[in-house]
Amino acid sequence: MKKILFLSYLWIFSVQLNIMAQEVPLIIWPQMEQLLTKQNDTTYVVNFWATWCRPCIAELPYFEQLNKNYKSEKLKVILVSLDFDVELEQRLKPFLNKRGIQSEVYLLNEPDANTWINKVSPDWSGAIPATVIYRGNDYSFYEKSFQYKELDSLVNIKLKN
Amino acid sequence: MKKMFVILFMFIIAAQVSLAQYKIGDEAIDFNLKNIDGKMVKMADFAEAKGFVVVFTCNHCPWSKLYEDRIVELDKEFAAKGFPVIAINSNDPEAYPEDDFESMKIRAAEKGFTFPYLVDETSGLAKTYGATKTPHIFLLRKENAQFIVKYMGAIDDNPKDAKGVSKKYLANAIYDLLAGRDVETKETKAIGCSIKYRGEAE
């Protein structure tokens, strides 16, 4: 019995560690492009944000909610941080831990945004927040802030297509 | 039903107009906005200027802050050559209290702004120009008393580190104009803080 308790304690501890230690890969454009061009039947919601962007932070819970509510569906939420690489350990990771962010997070380390903004969408001025929702070649871009309801209905359209 | 369609159609048109952005070669409108010293400023006041570096910026945005010193340097170099900087804050201080008029005065003094720092009290100028984020640059050249858009977008290719800049997009565009050449790179894009227009719901 004692052993079981100890094991379950270890298990709980490791789960907690898993939740706490959010992996944040540093990526450059070629990897980013792969995240935007996956050819399968999963709907991808890719949100561009940063810890310093207040409207981005305001809508983060909606993306988290989406990630949670559609766990059983073919949907994946990807958060792409545009924080600077030097802020990864000091700022971004503590931020994610504090808020318990569960969605996949990447840090896009490509300072000259002029080389890649148009590749995400020619309609993007560069203002954040910005979001791509796509499934296969059905690709939609939004330069705006979202409420949950709108996000949910846009995702539903893609899922049912 | 017909009436509904007409209203809907008008709404669509209005939405498109409000999202329109100047294109290269368009005439930019002059403005008449309040400077931090309380005086009204318009481009027509600068009789000697060959053009202007119009910078939509603000206090709160980290990416604007990263460029403040560089904007002061640009004004120091290019005002004397006929292209002074005019900075404009179009943000809603309801959303960002540190972008209010008093804070603008303080920030300009702290950073030693050598150029006007104007408040766009309705956000109307940002909408007309199509400025969506801070910082967002519009380089204008005076041609027969008109102000023509010659370059739009970013200041350079490295917000994070001024020493790491390899492409000075804006400065190069001004050099092109000063040399009487066509601007080589007319439009660039950069990440920035979205401008919160006044009077718009969350």
Non-local (6+) Cβ contacts of A56 within 8 A are: A47, A49, A50, A128, A129
Closest-CA residue in chain B for A146?
B202
A31 pLDDT above the threshold of 50: yes
Cβ contact, residue pair B191, A82, below 8 Å: yes
Does residue A9 lie in a domain region? no
Q: In what order do the strands lie in the sheet with B85-89?
A: B27-28, B146-153, B136-143, B51-56, B85-89, B117-119, B33-35, B40-41
**What does pLDDT average to over chain A?**
91
Helical residues (DSSP H) of chain B, grouped into ranges: 2-19, 62-78, 101-111, 124-129, 169-178
Domain at A34, CATH number:
3.40.30.10
A28 pLDDT above the threshold of 90: yes
| Choice between A9 and B176, residue whose per-residue pLDDT is larger | B176
How many A×B Cβ pairs under 8 Å? 69
B79 pLDDT above the threshold of 70: yes
Confidence of residue A22 (pLDDT cuts 50, 70, 90): confident
Looking at residue B27, what is its pLDDT? 98
Confidence of residue B16 (pLDDT cuts 50, 70, 90): very low
Determine what percent of chain B is predicted with pLDDT higher than 90: 88
Domain span holding position A35: 23-160
Total domain count, chain A: 1
Looking at residue B12, what is its pLDDT? 45
B201 pLDDT above the threshold of 70: no
Does residue A115 lie in a domain region? yes
Confidence of residue B11 (pLDDT cuts 50, 70, 90): very low
B158 neighbourhood in chain A, CB within 8 Å: 111-112
Confidence of residue A59 (pLDDT cuts 50, 70, 90): very high
Q: Which domains does chain B have, with CATH numbers?
A: 2-194 (3.40.30.10)
Nearest CA-CA partner of A63 in A35, A101, A96, A100: A101
Looking at residue B15, what is its pLDDT? 43
Does residue A142 lie in a domain region? yes
A121 neighbourhood in chain B, CB within 8 Å: none
Is the CB of B133 inside 8 Å of chain A's CB atoms?
yes
